[in-house]
Structure 1
Amino acid sequence: MASPTMTSTQRRVLAVAILASFVAFLDGTIVNVALPAIQRDLGGGLITQQWTVDAYLITLGSLILVAGSVSDAFGRVLVLRIGLIGFGIASIAVGLAPDPIFLIVARAVQGAAGAFLVPSSLALITSTFEGHARGRAIGIWTGLTTIAMIAGPLLGGLLVDLASWRYAFLINVVPIAITLWLVHPLRKTDRRMPDASIDWLGAILCTVGLGAAVFALIEQPNLGWDSPIIWLSLGGGILLFGLFLLRQRTARSPILPLGLFRARNFWAGNVATTFVYAALSLNGFVVAVYLQQGAGLPATLAGLASLPATAMMILLSSRAGALSDTFGPRFFMTVGPLVMAIGSLLLLTVSPDFNYWLQVLPGIVLFGLGLATTVSPLTSAVLGAVDTARSGIASAVNNAVARVAGLLAVAMLAAITGGSLDLTGFHRSAIVTAVLLTAGGIASFLGIRNPPHEDARLSP
């Protein structure tokens, strides 16, 4: 996993960063293949399935901004340890949930704890590695953590078929315990910024605003647009999120420093992130659920369907990170999403006479190839656009953008599918996924610039 030229501290930091992020990403995707079993056990239909995903993403996407500020202010290692402990406790609560409401609340708490993991992990890497070593380290981190996003359905399927969906969450305790043991010696090298303060009002506005808007999108097919609950929730959510953005212009220590977006590659990379990760979340949800409920596959086989994409990430992600560091990210961030879009369109060949090898596998392979080409260069472009002193909040912003894009895509699932995840709904989702990915490639081509040298960054 790590280069022999790395120091022992660098190897430990990379291992900690990978494991901590792996847990958060794994849990974010392992749930997809468990959704049919959760629905059968606890009830609630498609709405419960959507909330099981989005309750996690709402708190993750909004509080990850606060976690980025806390990470820079009070130390990456301390924040990481808090996140790991909270995530472990919440995972146990999810695994023991007796009803949908308890499950959804526990998932929200789990997302809040997960928000403390990813920014601190990336910030540890960017503050420990320099130059080409940083690009390679981010490539390794990206490859192994993105595998979690793809391999989650496989692990979840095995646990659902062989034991229970509850073990898909309880299993988190093992890697969390290992990571806590590995991170303990790093506390002596922890870094923090003096005179720091946290914008808690901004955090509340962001979280409640996103939550209200997502509530409206998920419940709209059930209550209808003429329901005052829907339009008040949607309007109130948009208003609160707008107030959050205004707050960030005046707060002494904003959780979303708008000045970061003066760096071209930072704002362009986040625009690309919005399209690409919305597509990833939509595709992951729809494929995992349809292969079980529509094509009739058991959970394990539905999870195995993503295995070729996992292989693409293992083989190519680190190499793509190194090539991007040498030649610049623009080409990779343009071509990668377009390849994924072609893979998504190939899923239109799925028919009532289902055949995985001819109808699904070619699209999955192309999707994995494009993903491996895209993710590491995207991460490097965004983090390389700002000074390392701002790496914690920069990674938090990028991850927040990715999670918010994903939760909105899942929240709009009923509108995308026409209210039912049947074959027609599956095809409609594939088309929307391809459109989103094409938009991501175009945004990268138009917005990303290959930096002429390493010092072309925005100073703090």
Structure 2
Amino acid sequence: MTTTETTPLPPGSSELLPHDDGAGRPLRTRPVWLALLAASLPMFMATLDNLVMTGALPVISERLHPDVEQLQWFVNAYTLVFATLMLPAAALGDRFGRRRVFVGGIVLFALASAASALADTPAQLIAARAVQGAGGAAILPLSLALLAGAVPASRRAMAIGIWGGVSGLGVALGPVIGGAVVEGLSWRAIFWLNVPVAVVAVPLAVWGLREARGRVGRFDLVGLVLAGAGIFLAVWAVVGANDRGWGSVTTVGMLLGGAVLLAAFVRHETRAESPLVPLRLFRARSFTVSNVAGFAFSMGMFGAVFLLTQYLQIGEGYSPLAAGARTLPWTAAPMLVAPVAGALTGRFGARPFVAGGLVLQTISLAWMAVGIDSGGAYPSLVPAFVVAGVGMGLTFAPVATAVLADLPDRDHTTASSVNATIREVGVALGVAVLTAVFLGAGGAFTPAAYVDGLVPALWVGAAVVGVGAVASLLMPRRTGRAD
């Protein structure tokens, strides 16, 4: 048995983790906190940017004068590419090095952010946002896989809890920073903010994360094409269904085409020598249930968030900054709750936190629907916002822990990318479906008609999250416990 030489522990350090140069040469040690920072900062950047963009849409519309379809594509271009490329990014990370692809994603995201800031036409901004989605596809799943591989198993739930808290920080600060920047500077500044963050994040990733690879074997190009094309068609059909019509030939044709391609992908994966997504992952009940719960959470909650964020500006008449500040009772809670939930998951398991968090979110959306329907103003909604935020904080980290809990390290990148893809499809579907309910109930993006569509949309969101809460009870009791 051989040993690896390490440098002495620096004063004040509690636990160190191995760090290598990716070529099998002697390992150096790095503190756990550095790995946490290196994995979380780029994820924070991507999370912050997405929410900043949503809050800035009214101002961008005034400056670039897009039509309605182009305005939607400012968000959809990112979502579509992001959801499509996460599985390919994971496969590239397993083959060529997770840290290498992760760093490449950070660089690409920063360059696309600069291009977004320099855009002078709607078409230029849409193209830049699509490239941002490609960078984000490498950042989100690989950040979790790299972090999981960088800390001891006994500390993994706690580390993922902190990672989830940083994600919550991005959720909390997105609307506030977006409103402040848009009002005080320019909408272009929300994209320029990513450049200095990336300049710091790249050396942190190189220094604080060790290179790792996953499953090896022949690259599954056929699976890659089938999965990418199927997800692309399905998500594109969903995000454009409200414009084309859910029963239109184009929408139905794209949905059927996506379903056929994804069915062919599943059939191919059962026969592939080195599949892109080993279907054996779904034999782990914790992995399957976590993905069902994550999909319901994303579809119901983020579809509602999309409409509620606009409601504070359109329905209540707040400025972007004032609206962002008023979301803090909701969006700041995950930042505080997620690290605690992550740490306690190692002791009690993920199931009580995931189920409890989804129940709280179901209650909160129903509470908001009743309050808004009865004519309640913003102050009356604050308790429901707090309950929603606590519920989200209880869900973020335990779901991420449960996805990886019963799988070997070599599958972590693939498992994380599958979960992230499913959640992103849930976000796209949630925005599209709840917006369709909103419009179908007589809602419109005007102060007078907004509430008419918002209330039934919130009830639908509550029902979807409630289904996830019921499904989460099927998770094994010991999932995520550090025994």
TM-score (norm 2): 0.87
Q: Residue 205 in 1 paired to residue 226 in 2? A: yes
Residue in 2 that maps onto 1:113: 135
| Distance of 2:156 and 2:434 partners within structure 1 | 38
1:193 Cα deviation (Å)? 4.6
Q: Taking structure 1 as reference, are residues 248 and 302 closer, same or farther at Cα in structure 2, changes over 3 Å only?
A: farther
Q: Which amino acid aligns with 1:306?
A: T
Residue in 1 that maps onto 2:22: none
Contact 2:172 2:335 in 1 (8 A): no
Residue in 2 that maps onto 1:316: 337
Contact 1:151 1:306 in 2 (8 A): no
Deviations 1:430-460 (A, max 9, x none): 11221121111111013343249758xxxxx
| Distance of 2:480 and 2:53 partners within structure 1 | 42
Residue in 1 that maps onto 2:201: 179
Residue in 2 that maps onto 1:283: 304
Residue in 2 that maps onto 1:251: 272
Cα-Cα RMSD: 2.3
| Distance of 2:296 and 2:231 partners within structure 1 | 18
Residue in 2 that maps onto 1:337: 358
| Distance of 2:302 and 2:63 partners within structure 1 | 24
Q: Residue 357 in 1 paired to residue 379 in 2? A: yes
Runs of 5+ in structure 2 lacking a partner?
1-11, 17-29
1:114 Cα deviation (Å)? 0.7
Residue in 1 that maps onto 2:188: 166
Q: Which amino acid aligns with 1:28?
A: N
* 1:363-402 correspondence to structure 2 within 5 Å: 363-402=384-423
Find the residue that maps to 1:412 and give its secondary structure. helix
Find the residue that maps to 2:401 and give its secondary structure. helix
| Match for residue 112 of structure 2 among 90, 103, 109 | 90
Q: Residue 5 in 1 paired to residue 14 in 2? A: yes
Contact 1:95 1:170 in 2 (8 A): yes
Q: Taking structure 1 as reference, are residues 218 and 323 closer, same or farther at Cα in structure 2, changes over 3 Å only?
A: closer
| Distance of 1:452 and 1:232 partners within structure 2 | 41
Q: Which amino acid aligns with 2:81?
A: T
Q: Taking structure 1 as reference, are residues 227 and 324 closer, same or farther at Cα in structure 2, changes over 3 Å only?
A: closer
Q: Taking structure 1 as reference, are residues 160 and 404 closer, same or farther at Cα in structure 2, changes over 3 Å only?
A: same
1:216 Cα deviation (Å)? 3.1
1:4 Cα deviation (Å)? 5.2
Deviations 1:80-122 (A, max 9, x none): 1100111011111222222333222221211111111122211
Residue in 1 that maps onto 2:468: 440
The structure with more radius of gyration: 2
Q: Which amino acid aligns with 1:429?
A: A
| Match for residue 141 of structure 1 among 151, 163, 166 | 163
Find the residue that maps to 1:386 and give its secondary structure. coil
Deviates more, 1:225-234 or 1:438-447: 225-234
Residue in 1 that maps onto 2:456: 428
Contact 2:214 2:409 in 1 (8 A): no
Q: Which amino acid aligns with 1:449?
A: R
Deviates more, 1:191-200 or 1:161-170: 191-200
Q: Taking structure 1 as reference, are residues 353 and 65 closer, same or farther at Cα in structure 2, changes over 3 Å only?
A: same
Contact 2:181 2:190 in 1 (8 A): yes
1:139 Cα deviation (Å)? 0.7
1:336 Cα deviation (Å)? 0.7
* 1:210-289 correspondence to structure 2 within 5 Å: 210-224=231-245, 227-289=248-310
Contact 1:50 1:411 in 2 (8 A): no
Q: Which amino acid aligns with 1:412?
A: V
Find the residue that maps to 2:318 and give its secondary structure. coil
Deviations 1:284-311 (A, max 9, x none): 2111122112221100111112212343
Q: Which amino acid aligns with 1:249?
A: T
Q: Which amino acid aligns with 1:428?
A: P
Deviations 1:181-235 (A, max 9, x none): 2123357x41225854433433333333333333333444433456433332232
Q: Which amino acid aligns with 1:252?
A: E
Contact 1:47 1:218 in 2 (8 A): no
Find the residue that maps to 1:80 and give its secondary structure. helix
TM-score (norm 1): 0.91
| Distance of 2:244 and 2:298 partners within structure 1 | 28
